[in-house]
């Protein structure tokens, strides 16, 4: 979603702002802008659409100065037009603000400011902050911002500059991530570390309630009562290469092909083959606590929710603990049964999804212990959970999640193994499962070698208007995920169903125009799935079957076959999801979609 960048130092801020905004493009946005102190005035350039349009505006009317802020906006209040793009200026032009989040009492604040004579020039909630800071300004920008924050309700990551208190950027965080980048004689502000990684690896993550005053060679973090808040300097430990395309046509393709390595990284140092268990240092759960878990709730959104469904089945199968999977957006408004013996597992690639974060806070408030399975190091969920397992999949830039999904399932498998071995799983079964996990990276390489077969299938179906994805047992969530991948990036309508449910409704859709993707490896429910394939074939549907063996029972039923290796039933969705990702990718590319930045989507959904 929206991105914030700030620069203060000896050099021209504009190239840093534009580069930072470009690095955050993957997050999804529909307009962009910068504000720079030019020695004469605070000047703003903004444009609707992509950053290239902002660059064109800067060529037409150049800006230069050593203090600046920039923003990519994903529209909430008002359409994605130039007038609604950030930064927003105060009425007298002395204050510029960029803001992520939502000001919930903006209507009341706007009315009060209008009564004082302020005229509004945009439809945004953010503009109230600019006027409010102007109204409250009395010589110190941080004091004016703090006083404005006292009146604001809602969520924000914000950055403010002023021509009346010039050599600083004031930032504040509540519910929307922000970090300070500490450079040599220059300081950065960003909502995403990738925006500043090219210039510094030293970062200070702000917490909710923090206000930061950033100057050229120093910064301070205080709270709303101006009390100092000591914050540590962390080091970003991934390379610039991780956020660059490295020769691939799209980030999504690169991330699909990275999966042998990312899965290996998720398991590195954690899988203990001889004991058939896993070592997970960060979970902060004692032997007794693991034994005393009565029930588990896994909460997440989107793709992370799909991985949770697989986790549910693995934990129930091996650790024999009841598990419920909840959409985070629903969980937070229910009256869930949570006790001190409930473990709430929180799945999130970004660690910033607003609903997931709120669900975790709600589970904590009700007394559950929380365990975050998160990819982004230092993200809010990772910092607020009681214990965690990092995915170590590296930055995921493609909006459609791929490598994070397979790493999530692997992380859930590791946790299941640990939990199950503490309870009733035998060493022998534990070892078998651990060995199957260890074999996955090599097996994914084998699946990736079939990319050209999948590309050819994509060519056949690139004009389809609908798709059905069917699977049973552990592969039902894989069917949901395959359908989500396709609709996200190709805009083809796709549904995932448990294969046997098809005859309770979706079967009405089957005709010669309907491609049906079956996930039918040779597992415990294989024969059942074959019957469902027959039902589709009998109605002239087109079948694309992902399977793991030459099966006589499939003869004559398969229009297009994709072969994957065999593994434990529980891990099959990991192998099956790779061809599903590739199928969605190639279809989307052939349809001319913007694969890495699909329309309307954002990488991390930081609004409710
Ligand atoms: C995945 O392809 C999606 N873009 C989306 O469903 C995503 O998984 C969801 O928004 C949750 O994000 P998170 O894992 O960062 O919390």
Per-residue pLDDT of 133-191, as tens digits, reads 999 999 999 999 999 999 999 999 999 999 999 999 999 999 889 999 999 999 999 99
Q: Which of 99, 93, 100 shows the shortest CA–CA distance to 44?
A: 93
402 Cα nearest atom in ligand 1: 2
Measured from the Cβ of residue 257, the count of other Cβ atoms closer than 10 Å reads: 20
99 CA to centre of ligand 1 in angstroms = 22
The string of pLDDT tens digits covering residues 331-370 is 988 898 999 999 999 999 999 999 999 999 999 999 999 9
Active site residue 603: yes
- What is the model's pTM? 0.86
Pocket of ligand 1 contains residue 480 by CB under 6 Å: no
Pocket of ligand 1 contains residue 401 by CB under 6 Å: yes
The string of pLDDT tens digits covering residues 37-81 is 998 899 999 999 999 999 999 999 999 999 999 999 988 878 889
User: What is the rounded CA–CA span in Å between residue 226 and residue 223?
Assistant: 5
447 CA to centre of ligand 1 in angstroms = 24
304 CA to centre of ligand 1 in angstroms = 6
User: Atom 4 (ligand 1): residue with closest C-alpha?
Assistant: 400
Q: What is the DSSP letter of 596?
A: S
284 in the Ramachandran plot: left (φ > 0), alpha (ψ -120 to 50) or beta? left
What does the block give as tokens for 492? Answer: 């083809």
389 CA to centre of ligand 1 in angstroms = 18
The yes-or-no verdict on residue 237 having pLDDT over 90 is: no
Sorting pLDDT into bands at 50, 70 and 90, what band is 29? confident
Q: Which domains does the chain have, with CATH numbers?
A: 3-237 (3.60.20.10), 245-446 (3.40.50.10490), 451-590 (3.40.50.10490)
The string of pLDDT tens digits covering residues 295-342 is 999 999 999 999 999 999 999 999 999 999 999 999 988 898 999 999
The continuous run of DSSP H or E covering 314 comes out as: helix 302-314
Residue 500 C-beta-side C-alpha neighbours within 13 Å: 7
27 CA to centre of ligand 1 in angstroms = 11
User: Atom 16 (ligand 1): residue with closest C-alpha?
Assistant: 348
Measured from the Cβ of residue 540, the count of other Cβ atoms closer than 10 Å reads: 11
User: What is the rounded CA–CA span in Å between residue 164 and residue 142?
Assistant: 12
CB within 8 Å of 227: residues ≥ 6 apart: none
Pocket of ligand 1 contains residue 349 by CB under 6 Å: yes
Contact predicate 481/546, CB 8 Å:
no
Helix (H, G, I), strand (E, B) or coil at 186: coil
Active site residue 301: no
Please state the φ and ψ torsions of residue 318, each to the nearest 5 degrees: -100, -35
Span of 74-83, 275-284, 434-443 with lowest mean pLDDT:
74-83
Best substitution site from 298, 326, 347, 353 to test ligand 1's pocket, by max atoms within 8 Å of Cβ? 353
List 323's β-bridge partners, or say none: 296
User: Atom 10 (ligand 1): residue with closest C-alpha?
Assistant: 302
Please state the φ and ψ torsions of residue 343, each to the nearest 5 degrees: -105, 125
Pocket of ligand 1 contains residue 304 by CB under 6 Å: yes
400 Cα nearest atom in ligand 1: 2
Contact predicate 201/194, CB 8 Å:
no
Pocket of ligand 1 contains residue 483 by CB under 6 Å: no
User: Atom 7 (ligand 1): residue with closest C-alpha?
Assistant: 302
The string of pLDDT tens digits covering residues 87-139 is 999 999 999 999 999 899 999 999 999 999 999 999 999 999 999 999 999 99
Calculate what percentage of the chain has a pLDDT beyond 70.
Answer: 100
List 342's β-bridge partners, or say none: 295
Contact predicate 483/491, CB 8 Å:
no
Contact predicate 485/478, CB 8 Å:
no
CB within 8 Å of 115: residues ≥ 6 apart: none
Helix (H, G, I), strand (E, B) or coil at 590: helix
CB within 8 Å of 7: residues ≥ 6 apart: 13, 16, 17, 20, 66, 67, 68, 186, 187, 188, 189
302 Cα nearest atom in ligand 1: 6
List 219's β-bridge partners, or say none: 214
User: Atom 9 (ligand 1): residue with closest C-alpha?
Assistant: 302
513 CA to centre of ligand 1 in angstroms = 30
Q: What is the mean pLDDT of the chain?
A: 95
350 Cα nearest atom in ligand 1: 15
Pocket of ligand 1 contains residue 400 by CB under 6 Å: yes
Which of 2, 301, 344, 485 is flagged as catalytic? 2
395 CA to centre of ligand 1 in angstroms = 14
| Location of structure tokens 């994957």 | 564
């Amino acid at each position: 979603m929206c991105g914030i960048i700030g620069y203060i130092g000896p050099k021209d801020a504009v190239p840093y702002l534009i580069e930072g905004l470009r690095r955050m493009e993957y997050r999804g946005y529909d307009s962009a802008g910068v504000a720079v102190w030019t020695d004469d005035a605070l000047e703003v350039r903004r444009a609707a659409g992509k950053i290239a349009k902002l660059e064109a505006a800067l060529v037409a009317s150049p800006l230069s100065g050593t203090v600046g802020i920039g923003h990519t906006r994903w529209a909430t209040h008002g359409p994605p037009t130039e007038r609604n793009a950030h930064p927003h200026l105060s009425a007298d032009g002395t204050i510029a603000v960029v803001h992520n989040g939502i000001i919930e009492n903006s209507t009341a604040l706007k009315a009060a400011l209008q009564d004082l004579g302020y005229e509004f020039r945009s439809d945004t909630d953010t503009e109230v902050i600019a006027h409010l800071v102007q109204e409250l300004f009395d010589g110190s920008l941080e004091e004016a911002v703090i006083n404005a924050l006292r009146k604001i309700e809602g969520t924000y990551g914000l950055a403010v500059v002023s021509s009346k208190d010039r050599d600083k950027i004031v930032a504040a965080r509540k519910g929307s991530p922000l970090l300070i980048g500490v450079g040599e004689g220059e300081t950065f502000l960003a909502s995403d570390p990738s925006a500043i990684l090219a210039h510094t690896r030293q970062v200070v993550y702000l917490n909710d309630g923090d206000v930061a005053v950033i100057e050229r060679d120093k910064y301070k973090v205080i709270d709303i009562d101006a009390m100092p808040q000591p914050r540590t300097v962390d080091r970003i430990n991934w390379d610039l290469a991780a956020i660059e395309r490295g020769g691939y046509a799209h980030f999504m393709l690169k991330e699909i092909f990275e999966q042998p390595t990312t899965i290996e990284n998720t398991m590195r140092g954690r899988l203990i083959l001889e004991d058939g268990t896993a070592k997970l240092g960060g979970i902060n759960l004692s032997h007794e606590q693991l034994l005393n878990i009565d029930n588990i709730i896994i909460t997440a959104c989107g793709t992370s929710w799909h991985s949770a469904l697989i986790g549910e089945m693995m934990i129930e199968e091996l650790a024999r603990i009841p598990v419920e999977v909840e959409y985070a957006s629903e969980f937070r408004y229910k009256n869930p049964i949570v006790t001190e013996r409930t473990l709430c597992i929180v799945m999130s690639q970004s660690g910033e999804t607003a609903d997931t974060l709120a669900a975790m806070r709600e589970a904590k408030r009700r007394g559950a212990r929380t365990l975050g399975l998160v990819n982004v190091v230092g993200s809010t969920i990772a910092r607020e959970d009681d214990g965690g397992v990092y995915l170590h999949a590296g930055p995921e830039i493609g909006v459609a999640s791929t490598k994070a999904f397979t790493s999530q399932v692997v992380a859930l498998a590791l946790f299941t193994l640990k939990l199950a071995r503490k309870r009733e799983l035998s060493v022998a079964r534990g070892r078998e499962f651990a060995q199957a996990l260890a074999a996955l990276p090599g097996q994914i390489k084998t699946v990736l070698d079939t990319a050209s077969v999948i590309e050819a299938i994509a060519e056949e179906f690139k004009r389809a208007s609908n798709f059905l994805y069917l699977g049973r047992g552990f592969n039902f969530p894989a069917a949901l995920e395959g359908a989500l991948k396709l609709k996200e990036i190709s805009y083809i309508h796709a549904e995932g169903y448990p294969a046997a449910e098809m005859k309770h409704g979706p079967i009405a859709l089957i005709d010669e125009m309907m491609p049906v993707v079956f996930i039918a490896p040779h597992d415990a429910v294989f024969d059942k799935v074959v019957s469902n394939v027959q039902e589709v074939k009998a109605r002239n549907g087109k079948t694309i079957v992902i399977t793991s063996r030459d099966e006589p029972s499939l003869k004559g039923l398969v229009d297009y076959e994709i072969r994957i290796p065999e593994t434990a039933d529980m891990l099959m969705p990991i192998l099956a999801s790779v061809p599903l990702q590739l199928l969605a990718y190639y279809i989307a590319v052939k349809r001319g979609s913007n694969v890495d930045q699909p329309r309307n989507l954002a990488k991390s959904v930081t609004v409710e």
